[in-house]
Amino acid sequence: MLKKELTFALDYALNKGFQIHPNAFEFLENVDTKKLEKIIKEIVREKTKQKLFQINQDDLEDYFGIKEDKDLQSEYKVLFDPTSKVTSAEGISGYNSLFSSRFKKLKKIISDRPESKMIKSIASIKTAKLDEDVYVCGLVTSRNSQRKVTNLVLEDPSGTVDGIIFDNELQKTADSLLSDQFVMARLGVGKNSGFIIKDLISPDIPDQSSNRSESETFALFLSDLHIGSKYFMEEEFNELVSWLSSPDSVARKVRFVLICGDVVDGVGIYPNQDKELVCKTTDEQLEKLASLIDKIPDYIKIFIMPGNHDPGRRALPQPAIPKKFNSRLWEKDNVVMVGNPAVVSLNGVKVLMYHGQSIDDIVKTTPGLSYDSPTNVMKHLLKARHLSPIYGSQTPIAPEVEDLMVIEEIPDVFHVGHVHRAQLDMYKGILLINSGSWQNQTPFQASVGMVPNPGIALMVNLKTFQVLHQNYNPRLDNILQS
């Protein structure tokens, strides 16, 4: 039902012979009701003078002084998108080329370090007589911690080596390594001629300065909307969407919206999901997404990435949500459909977007990590320079010829979702954002004790990297973690 102030304003204009364009109508719905009468009277007076008898959104934006600021920089580039690159080689030979690509790419990354000049192949250190320590590098194939010692097996294309760690601190470093991640090790020979690991060096992120936007343009970071689910916070999300076209001074500067996957809840993703869906088909769910996007001003660019709930390929890397599921999204000029992971540049600021599927496997196998702090997991990914190292666990990984999950480019912002906990942090100058979710706690999450903090919108000033947040969740215990 229309608010009475709005009905009054509309009647006033109609009685004066005016037509009201639907976009003006939507705009007026979001204006403070107390101001409506004054606004409409002034616009009617002004336009009557001009003998123009239609009120449209432009008139209202003129009135509020909130027309698109053309001077605000808003340039984007997609720097990396796996969509056209996925080839999926077959079976065993596919995985062989995947791991060999991973090894090569990461060896190149680590070759900036001085120690890397001394790297030897694993096969060669087994046959040579070693008088001094040597460096090898490889993927972690197993890690085993007993009370006093840790055993680590590394594999390079020439073979595998089994090393023992006695040092307490180094054992902790070893525990923090992710299965199948790349690492460099300093090895010495022990008394019984076994190898002792004396140091472990991850590829990691070098100290660097990050790129900034010249203008104070804002980007809005979102994830895990789960549109179609009974638990999607539709009302709160609509409020956020309306805010984007409101006169608010920050809203006026938002030029980018990044959605980090699980945009819809999907169909048949988990057992008995249909009981928790309000939209029963992916078509219906994506159409609802498209109609929400219709309400966002078209000078705002919206990047949409798939997650594990969205239609299309499930295995990583994921191509963009295919056009056959919703052509309208693909055809909208202000929507950019990207795969998972993707790198986009916003006014020169490089944002690495990744849904975050691998977090599930990592929290299960790495001491000290948990769902409560997704940004700590993100730091591990950056250290390993890989988004989803663990193979053969819950996260499906496709046998690509090239490993597209290696973090080759160093981002300025690392944006992840999936675990439904909004959190911020910094790591080596990189802004870490887990953008949380817009889905209330599901019965499954409650059963495993996962407590999401949904309904928090995170906005980053791309010039200063200052982060603002708005909590649309009415629950008082729902707070942003940092």
Binding site for Zn ion (CB under 5 A): 262, 307-308, 418
DSSP, collapsed to helix, strand or coil, labels residue 301 as: strand
DSSP secondary structure string for all residues of 90-112: -HHHHHHHHHHHHHHHHHHHHTT
Binding residue for Fe ion, selected from 224, 265, 287, 403, defined by CB under 5 A: 224
Q: Which of residues 291-330 bind ligand D5M (CB under 6 A)?
A: 308-309
The whole-angstrom separation of Cα 426 and Cα 429 is 6
Write the binding mask 447 to 476 for ligand D5M: x where contact by CB under 6 A, - elsewhere: ---x--------------------------
Is residue 310 part of the contact set for Fe ion (CB under 5 A)?
no
- Cβ closer to Fe ion: 138 or 417? 417
Partner from Zn ion, Fe ion, ligand D5M, none contacting 203, C-beta within 5 to 8 A by type: none
- Cβ closer to Zn ion: 181 or 442? 442
Residues near 329 by Cβ (< 8 Å), separated by ≥ 6?
A: 286, 289, 290, 293, 304, 321, 335, 337
The nearest distance, CB 397 to Zn ion, in angstroms, is: 16
Binding residue for Fe ion, selected from 61, 156, 180, 262, defined by CB under 5 A: 262
The nearest distance, CB 439 to ligand D5M, in angstroms, is: 7
The nearest distance, CB 452 to ligand D5M, in angstroms, is: 8
Instruction: Measure the CA dihedral 200/205/209/210, to 10°.
Output: -160
Q: In sequence order, what are the beta bridge partners of 460?
A: 219, 467
Partner from Fe ion, ligand D5M, Zn ion, none contacting 107, C-beta within 5 to 8 A by type: none
Q: Are 231 and 439 in contact (CB under 8 A)?
A: yes
The nearest distance, CB 309 to Fe ion, in angstroms, is: 6
Binding residue for ligand D5M, selected from 418, 427, 454, 457, defined by CB under 6 A: 418
Residues near 202 by Cβ (< 8 Å), separated by ≥ 6?
A: 177, 181, 182, 183, 184, 383, 384, 385
- Cβ closer to ligand D5M: 360 or 408? 360
The nearest distance, CB 221 to Zn ion, in angstroms, is: 15
The whole-angstrom separation of Cα 175 and Cα 368 is 9
Residues near 144 by Cβ (< 8 Å), separated by ≥ 6?
A: 150, 151, 152
Structural tokens at position 134: 């040597």
Is residue 420 part of the contact set for ligand D5M (CB under 6 A)?
yes
Structural tokens at position 260: 């980090």
Is residue 224 part of the contact set for ligand D5M (CB under 6 A)?
yes
- Cβ closer to Fe ion: 262 or 403? 262
The nearest distance, CB 249 to Zn ion, in angstroms, is: 33
The region of 224-232, 363-371, 385-393, 395-403 touching Fe ion under the rule CB under 5 A is: 224-232
Partner from Zn ion, Fe ion, ligand D5M, none contacting 252, C-beta within 5 to 8 A by type: none
In eight-state DSSP terms, residue 300 is S
Partner from Zn ion, Fe ion, ligand D5M, none contacting 43, C-beta within 5 to 8 A by type: none
Binding residue for ligand D5M, selected from 61, 180, 262, 310, defined by CB under 6 A: 262
Q: Are 406 and 385 in contact (CB under 8 A)?
A: yes
DSSP secondary structure string for all residues of 191-209: TTS-EEEEEEE--------
Structural tokens at position 410: 């160093």
Q: Going edge to edge, which strands form the sheet with 342-346? A: 76-80, 342-346, 349-354, 413-416, 430-435, 422-427
Structural tokens at position 97: 């080329």
Interface with ligand D5M (CB under 6 A): 224, 262, 270, 308-309, 360, 371, 418-420, 444-445, 450
